[in-house]
Amino acid sequence: MSETVTDGAAAANAADAHAGAAKKKKLIIIGAVVVLLLLLVGGGFWAKDRFFKSVGSTVASNSKMAQDALHPPVILGIPTLVSNLDSGDGRPVYVKLTAKVEVVGASNEASLQNVVPQIQDIFQTYLHETRPQDIRGNGIYRLHESIMRRLRVELAPLEVRNLYFVEFLVQ
């Protein structure tokens, strides 16, 4: 009788081991399926994002080309400005500046002549706040970007595309 109990216990242990191995296999398979689904969903979102970004940039470039066809960019010449910088020590430091502004949305340069004083004021105001050491090195780039931001805000219905410094002299 003890042999049947031992055989029964061995059979129960073998059945438990088999059930444990089957359970582990199930968990591994479920885990692999979950990881695969997460990868597929993430890849789908990534592909969707790339698709809509490329479609959006294509639509934006097409609308930009259509706008350029209706109103080609106008290069508006800004008369030469002479402005003094904030030197801080009392000695005068002057800047002589001639610039051109590329504007989209106007029919011709003559239609933009009424905004030239406003643009000159933006230049003068910014230059009066600037110190001579602020425009050394890459300071001209910062000057360019700051004036571009101000021009875009002030001339809001019009699109300011670029600003060109024709002459820039610090003395």
DSSP 3-35: HHHHHHHHHHHHHHHHHHHHHHHHHHHHHHHHH
The residues of the chain scoring below 70 in pLDDT are: 1-15, 55-69, 71
pTM for this prediction:
0.57
What is the pLDDT at residue 43? 85
What is the pLDDT at residue 8? 61
What is the pLDDT at residue 138? 86
What is the pLDDT at residue 15? 67
What is the pLDDT at residue 66? 61
165/89 Cα distance (integer angstroms):
28
pLDDT tens digits along 62-98? 666 665 567 689 999 999 999 988 777 778 889 999 9
Pairing mode of beta strands 159-170, 74-84: unpaired
150 in Cβ contact with 122 (< 8 Å): yes
